[in-house]
Amino acid sequence: MTHARRFVGWDLTDPFARNPRPVDEAIMDGDGRVRFSQRVWPARLEPEALAEAFTIQPGDVVVVDGPQALANPGAKVRDAERKLRAPGRTPDVLPVPGAPFAGFVRGSVLLFAALRVHARVPMLDLDTPSLPDARLFEAFPGATWRALAVEKLGGKSTPEGRARRQALLESSGLRFEDSRTCTHDQLDAAVCAWLGWLTRTRPGEVTAVGLPLTQDTDGTLREGRILDLDRA
């Protein structure tokens, strides 16, 4: 099997915050080694600037913690989010500033559209043959942690909760360059990268939850699919 050169996970932050935090990035190679870096939101959130700030290299499999699409018109939440019990409740229009998750949802939907339309990075269905160009997925780490855990992991903001999550990933074959306990944002980015690795190395262990994609005239996606562990 031909493997992508890198498996990349992004744990998005709110680009509309007064002082936006950098986005944690996990970069995993085919042998399971993980290193962390960060991406910085551009000052102007125009599509071209977003595509440049979040450049994807040829061959990358990129998995983003954040909604790729809005719900279908008239729906209160996307079908995939309902099935995975995601808390974001992505609506059918971009939420107004100040609403719960508003900036995060707006930033993520705009980023996916920018990468697809302006960087020409396609999203991949799991039944599509492996191709050499970059691919883009969405994930909801909360659902993946639930599927991985055999016992309660504890709060992700606590040292014990983070240590248990990191141990789960290490037992799944990931090796972190830094031996210190990762932050919860780094761990969510790492689990995204791991899901991307599974799509190419163990496709039978991962599934894509949700309805087929549709696209608005401005490039905004509707519904979409979210990667998750296959629980069958």
- Position 220 pLDDT exceeds 70: yes
| Helix (H), strand (E) at residue 28 | strand 23-28
Which pLDDT score, from 0 to 100, does residue 20 have?
A: 93
Distance CA 200, CA 63 (A): 13
| Residue 100 CA, distance from chain mean position | 19
DSSP string for residues in 133-154: S-EEEEE-HHHHHHHH-SS---
Distance CA 196, CA 64 (A): 10
Write the CB contacts of 208 (distance below 8 Å, at least 6 apart in sequence). Answer: 125, 126, 137, 225, 226, 227, 228
Give the strand pairing for 69-70 and 206-209: unpaired
| Percent of residues, the chain, with pLDDT higher than 90 | 52
Return the residue matching tokens 């696209």.
215
> What's the mean per-residue pLDDT of the chain?
87
Closest C-alpha to 210, from 137, 141, 149, 148 = 137
Q: Minimum mean pLDDT among 17-21, 60-64, 122-126, 201-205: which range?
A: 122-126
Which pLDDT score, from 0 to 100, does residue 186 have?
A: 95
Report residue 70 as tokens.
């809005």
Distance CA 116, CA 133 (A): 13
Confidence band for 211, pLDDT divided at 50, 70 and 90: confident
Which pLDDT score, from 0 to 100, does residue 126 have?
A: 62
Distance CA 202, CA 207 (A): 11
At 58 the three-state DSSP class reads coil
Distance CA 156, CA 37 (A): 20
Write the CB contacts of 179 (distance below 8 Å, at least 6 apart in sequence). Answer: none
- Position 140 pLDDT exceeds 90: yes
Burial of 211 (0-12, 13-18, 19+ CB in 10 A): middle
Q: Minimum mean pLDDT among 21-35, 126-140, 189-203: which range?
A: 126-140
- Single pTM value for the model: 0.91
Residues forming beta bridges with residue 91, ordered by sequence position: none
Confidence band for 1, pLDDT divided at 50, 70 and 90: very low
Q: Answer yes or no: are the C-beta atoms of 88 and 1 closer than 8 Å.
A: no
